Amino acid sequence: MYKTVRMIMVFAAALLLCSTYTASAGDTLKIGSFLAVTGPASFLGDPELKTLQMYIDDINSKGGIDGTKIEFIHYDTKAKAKDAKNFVNRLIKKDRVDVIIGGSTSGNTIAVMDLVEKAHVPLISLAGSVKIIEPVKKWIFKTPHTDRMAAAKIFEDIKARGFTKVALITGNGGFDKSGRAQCLALAPKYGLVIVADEKYGNSDTDMTTQITKIRSTDAQVIVNFGFGKAPAIVTKNIRQLGVKLPLYQSHGVASKKFIELAGEAAEGVRLPAAGLIVADKLPDTDPQKRVLLAYKNAYEAKYGPVSTFGGHAYDALFITVNAVRSAGSTDRAKIRDEIEKTKGFVGTGGIFNMSPSDHLGLGLDSFHMVEIKNGDWVLVN
């Protein structure tokens, strides 16, 4: 008799275990990503992927999001739009992911937006262009500051210094082109005149020709929108040609790599950047400081110097996690609705307040104007 009772109890326990096991297995959150981990934009994709993997492992080891484990599926696009399209197709049709985080570049993101809209999968992009969220697409969100915000921040600073004539030099990538368009559109609002509009190829090795042309104009400042090695070459070429005009770079070069590559030529360069690179220089009252330092320390303990780009992935991941938590399910439509309701989320890029008309939710104050001094960033007030 006693034996039977015990057997029943064991059986019941086994059954219970079994059922909880299936419940959690059926309730995993599938996050897919397509990032430019290698190729010309690897400095974006690489820290982004590392950040996602680090925090997803961390969340899973702590039991998941209220018990829901995260399954992470990743593809490397090498920043090629065609690959991005193929991989996103695979994420949607074959892997059947619940949320997509990516791509690293604006070109990659814009290439897949129609696809994602049709498939009704929420996507949080890690790319800069304002075209991703304007006009608002129902399923598309993003976390990095837009190029329009960067242009506005730069122009604000130029105006405050009393300059009016701006020379623009940009690359041929999606980020560059979009940034150029924003600069051209915004300049009149700040009373600025664009007196030169030069372009280069992102794999070009010398931009002295373009800068020589700029030198022959009456420009008072130079603004360079670009990322990768090209802005470093532009910066060096400007100093090489003895051009003394103040140089503004975009948030695309907000990483230590830029200072390392451009070396002394980078001294005095100003750029708008998210709080991450000046985290330890922010006042203690800054609400972001705690989040920034926590991310910075966690990342640096594992991989080395942090960059703002990994921070965008951090923001995207935790906006997703919060949305899944408040939706209480992994239903794509419910997650989408909750992402759109994100309010007061303190991320690395700033404090996010999304709405049906704003799928980014950051204000201009989330940017800090910084200047490179002695190989480090200094806040400009």
Partner 1 sequence: MTDQLFQFLISGITVGSVYALVGLGFTIIYNASDVVNFAQGEFVMIGAMSAIFLYRAGVPYPFALAAAVIITMAVGMLLEKLAIEPAKNASVVTTIIITIGASIFLRGAALLIWGKDIYGLPPFTKDVPISIGNATLLPQNLYVMGGTALSVLAVRYFFDKTITGKAILACSCNRKAASLVGINVNRMLLIAYGISALLGAIAGILVTPITYTSYDSGVMLGLKGFCAAILGGMGSSMGAVAGGLLLGVIESLGAGIISSGYKDAIAFVVILAVLFIRPSGLLGSADAERV
Q: How far is CA 57 from CA 63, 71, 192, 274, 299, in A?
A: 10, 10, 48, 26, 13
Return the number of the residue (30 or 215) whose C-beta is nearest partner 1: 215
- For the chain, the 3-state helix, strand and coil shares in percent, each to the nearest 5, are 50, 20, 30
Q: Is 269 in the site for partner 1 (CB under 8 A)?
A: no
Contacts of 271 (CB under 8 A, 6+ apart): 154, 248, 249, 250, 251, 253, 254, 369, 370, 372
Given 29, 232, 277, 360, the residue binding partner 1 (CB under 8 A) = 232
Quick note: the x/- pattern for partner 1 over 177-206, rule CB under 8 A, is: ---------------------xxxx-xxxx
**Residue whose token pair is 């204000």:** 363
Given 20, 209, 217, 297, the residue binding partner 1 (CB under 8 A) = 209
Report helix angle 308-327 to 332-340, nearest 10: 120
Quick note: the x/- pattern for partner 1 over 22-51, rule CB under 8 A, is: ---------------xxxx-xx--x-----
Stretch (H or E) spanning 134 = none
Return the number of the residue (131 or 229) whose C-beta is nearest partner 1: 229
Number of residues that bind partner 1 (CB under 8 A): 36
Q: Which amino acid is at 348?
A: T
Q: How far is CA 292 from CA 185, 275, 307, in A?
A: 32, 7, 11
Quick note: the x/- pattern for partner 1 over 46-75, rule CB under 8 A, is: x-----------------------------
Given 90, 137, 165, 257, the residue binding partner 1 (CB under 8 A) = 257
Angle at 232 between CA 226 and CA 234, to 5 degrees: 75
Q: Is 283 in the site for partner 1 (CB under 8 A)?
A: no
The residues binding partner 1 (CB under 8 A) are: 37-40, 42-43, 46, 172, 198-201, 203-206, 208-210, 212-213, 216, 228-229, 232-233, 236, 239-242, 257, 260-261, 263-264
